[in-house]
Amino acid sequence: MTSNVTHPLEPLTADEVKLAVTILRDSGKVMPTTRFVSVHLKEPAKEVVHRFRPGAPITREAFALLFDNGKNACYEVTLSLAERKITSWKHVPGVQPTMTSDEQVECEQAVLGSPEFKAALKKHYGIEDTSLVMVDIWSAGNYGSEEDRTRRLARPLCFLRSDPTDNGYAKPIEGLRPVVDLNEMRVLRVEEHGHWPLPPQQCNYAADRVERFRGDIKPLEINQPDGPSFEVEGKRVRWQKWSFVIGFTAREGLTINNLCYEDGGKERSILYRASLSEMVVPYGDPAPQQARKNAFDAGEYGLGMCANSLELGCDCLGLIKYFDGDLVTSRGEPLTIKNAICMHEEDYGILWKHTDRRLPDKPEVRRSRRLVISSIATVENYEYGFFWYLYQDGNIQFEVKLTGILSLGAVKPGENPKYGAMIAPQLYAPNHQHFFNVRLDFDLDGTANTVYQVDLVADELGPNNPFENAFAARATRLESEKPARANLSLETGRTWMIVNENVKNAVGKPVGYRFMPGDNSVPYASKNAWWRKRAGFVNHHVWVTPFAAGEKHAGGDYPNQSRGGDGLIRWTEQDRPIENTDVVLWYTMGHTHIPRPEDYPVMPAAYIGFTLKPAGFFAANPANDLPPAPKKEAKSCCH
Ligand SMILES: [Cu+2]
């Protein structure tokens, strides 16, 4: 089979996924009990991608993650699609890969069909009809027990709808926690933590259930009469001076590859690969029915697997280009998430402006346009929107939009929860945090890059600082992994510079990009909390490692039920050199969520992210060549 992709980093097409499954099945090594956790592109070596020129033949390889429920065994398999053969088959003992979407559905059915669960429901709530009960899978974690080590587990949360389209999260079945063996797909036991009456009120957000809409919104239309300013070939995109390749995996969801900016006729590389590497959402309530809630949304649930099809649920304005996500069901059937990725242009206000006082009739102003590439994952109750923004001045921004439904719990009448906030009568939302780790594989004008930590420091008082006003940036060259681990510092306005010391800019300095963090948090759980052992990447905000193809996930390859200690905390113990080499910067950002009644029944989006700004990468403002917007007769509404 010859691939019809146009770039070696394009994700596997639906046909390629199918071929990989066929090769695996034909090998005779796939059992009826085997699940296909994921099948995705085995990325070629960087040198191969660097050497690639458009039109040259592309050799495609695939990576498959398999899990045999019968043997509780995980396999990593690589395949040559051109030669139609398996090139390596490795058993990885003692690990649990990501739970598949199929397991979410099957787990719900297993709980609803369980006599023990039915009996507990009847005993506590007098419910006999389970048709309105919702069962969200929730990962089981690892708390050191034999069972956590030896079984594939889930520890679902259950809720009750009042009718088939009701928001069931309003009525948590607080005291009952089924524990499910996902290999046997059966309820091992139902843990009973006590009895909490169901909160009394319904609360809905669906359009057909909201009683009255506000009536004062006039239409706002975005018109692009000549079409969008981007060009697309396969998954390759060119937008003004930017170019990149869109990637998509079951675990990470959207990735941005080979991101370049054309400068003076030259294609200059900035990022080789940018991805959301892992997430964790720890809850801060020690109550036994709440304490084990912590979701690694990438490694345990799969952000690509949980990606929305934006065919129906997209609210972007203007001309939109969609990209499908080609995945596989756990039984090896092709699974195409139609319109998993959305791309469009947005007007973003003023990019720059100046009016020369002496030339008052010649104000110069340019509007900012940004390219938005986004994907949204629904992980049971919560939504995460992942948005990459490219700007005309060379800025790159990443933003996560957190929305969806809070994870809620029931309280008894009159109870006032210490570790959360009351949201509605007898309904509360526990305090929690959302940590995101983003992996940024820089290739600034080549692979040999160096990272500096930059702190702003006031000069000491004395004869050299007679006006007591002096301050300067102090740049610390990061030589190896251990000293590169760092947290943000408000006192020193800490940023990071990624530079290529081998390429000098117009003023003789190394070309560079500045990493500008945004909002952030530190974890409040102890370092000994089980979830934190598994999420070592929350120990620091910034980490720098030398590029290693196998290091993609900040919490390690298998965070699900792991005993911890893997990923960034383990790799960086090697203290490998990171100077003038291929470097990866990892950024952990935390959003601390003290819930509000206004987050209910559905939560207005909260935002967290960071920006990369060229800092000496270009000789001057690269957006100086923007043409003024065509003059239009000003429309004024307020006479
Ligand atoms: Cu939250």
Position with higher pLDDT, 54 vs 134: 134
Give distance in angstroms: CA of 427 to centre of ligand 1: 16
Judge if the upstream peptide bond of residue 601 is cis by omega within 30 degrees of 0: yes
Give distance in angstroms: CA of 167 to centre of ligand 1: 18
Within 13 Å and on the Cβ side, how many CA atoms surround 32? 0
pLDDT over threshold 70, residue 2 = no
Q: For 471-484, what is each residue's pLDDT tens digit? A: 999 999 999 999 99
Give distance in angstroms: CA of 423 to centre of ligand 1: 13
State the residue for tokens 């900035």.
Answer: 270
Rg (CA), the chain: 26
Band (539; pLDDT cuts 50, 70, 90): very high
Give distance in angstroms: CA of 104 to centre of ligand 1: 21
State the residue for tokens 């590439």.
Answer: 373
Q: Is 29 exposed, middle or buried (0-12, 13-18, 19+ CB in 10 A)?
A: middle
pLDDT at 18: 97
pLDDT at 346: 96
Query: What is d(CA 101, CA 94) in angstroms, rounded to the nearest whole number?
Result: 22
Give distance in angstroms: CA of 12 to centre of ligand 1: 33
- Tokens representing 34 are 């085997």
Give distance in angstroms: CA of 595 to centre of ligand 1: 7
Q: Which value, to the nearest 10 degrees, does the dihedral of the CA atoms of residues 13, 18, 23, 25 take?
A: 150
Q: For 293-342, what is each residue's pLDDT tens digit? A: 999 999 999 999 999 999 877 888 889 999 999 999 999 999 999 999 99
Give distance in angstroms: CA of 606 to centre of ligand 1: 9
- Cα–Cα distances in angstroms (integers) from residue 151 to residues 98, 146, 557, 559, 639, in the given order: 14, 8, 18, 14, 71
Instruction: Express as a percent the part of the chain with pLDDT over 90.
Output: 96
Give distance in angstroms: CA of 406 to centre of ligand 1: 6
pTM beyond 0.95: the answer is yes
pLDDT at 313: 77
Give distance in angstroms: CA of 593 to centre of ligand 1: 5
- Tokens representing 462 are 């004395």
For the chain, helix, strand, coil in percent to 5 are 15, 40, 45
Mean pLDDT of the 360-366 span: 94
Query: What is d(CA 321, CA 336) in angstroms, rounded to the nearest whole number?
Result: 16
pLDDT at 318: 87
Within 13 Å and on the Cβ side, how many CA atoms surround 448? 5
Helix ranges (H only) for 85-196 are 101-112, 115-125, 146-150
Query: What is d(CA 207, CA 167) in angstroms, rounded to the nearest whole number?
Result: 12
* Amino acid making up residue 473: A
pLDDT at 4: 81
Is the separation of the CB atoms in 66 and 33 below 8 Å? Answer: no
* Amino acid making up residue 297: D
Give distance in angstroms: CA of 372 to centre of ligand 1: 24
Query: What is d(CA 330, CA 122) in angstroms, rounded to the nearest whole number?
Result: 33
Catalytically annotated residue among 68, 166, 181, 297: 297
Instruction: Return mean pLDDT, the chain.
Output: 96
pLDDT at 631: 76
Catalytically annotated residue among 301, 382, 452, 513: 382
φ and ψ of 238, to 5 deg:
-125, 125
- Tell me, yes or no, if 26 is annotated catalytic: no
- Which residues on adjacent β-strands are paired with residue 622? none
Q: For 456-474, what is each residue's pLDDT tens digit? A: 999 999 999 999 999 999 9
* Amino acid making up residue 327: L
Q: For 5-41, what is each residue's pLDDT tens digit? A: 999 999 999 999 999 999 999 999 999 999 999 999 9
Band (286; pLDDT cuts 50, 70, 90): very high
Q: Which helix (H) or strand (E) holds 263?
A: strand 253-263
Band (354; pLDDT cuts 50, 70, 90): very high
Query: What is d(CA 245, CA 167) in angstroms, rounded to the nearest whole number?
Result: 39
Instruction: Express as a percent the part of the chain with pLDDT over 70.
Output: 98
- Cα–Cα distances in angstroms (integers) from residue 103 to residues 20, 70, 107, 299, in the given order: 22, 15, 6, 15
Mean pLDDT of the 450-454 span: 98
Give distance in angstroms: CA of 592 to centre of ligand 1: 7
Band (638; pLDDT cuts 50, 70, 90): low
Mean pLDDT of the 254-278 span: 97
Query: What is d(CA 589, CA 609) in angstroms, rounded to the nearest whole number?
Result: 7
pLDDT over threshold 80, residue 428 = yes
Closest by CA to 515, choosing from 580, 471, 449, 577, is 449
Query: What is d(CA 423, CA 406) in angstroms, rounded to the nearest whole number?
Result: 10
- Tokens representing 371 are 């390219």
Query: What is d(CA 129, CA 136) in angstroms, rounded to the nearest whole number?
Result: 18
pLDDT over threshold 90, residue 634 = no
First to last CA, the chain: 67
- Tokens representing 378 are 């629904």
Lowest mean pLDDT among 86-100, 216-230, 312-326, 521-535: 312-326
Give distance in angstroms: CA of 517 to centre of ligand 1: 20
Q: For 108-142, what is each residue's pLDDT tens digit? A: 999 999 999 999 999 999 999 999 999 999 999 99
Give distance in angstroms: CA of 432 to centre of ligand 1: 6
Give distance in angstroms: CA of 599 to centre of ligand 1: 9
State the residue for tokens 């040259």.
Answer: 56
Is the separation of the CB atoms in 257 and 247 below 8 Å? Answer: yes
Closest by CA to 518, choosing from 370, 369, 390, 397, is 397
pLDDT at 312: 74
- Tell me, yes or no, if 129 is annotated catalytic: no
| Residue list, CB under 5 A from ion ligand 1 | 593
Give distance in angstroms: CA of 441 to centre of ligand 1: 28
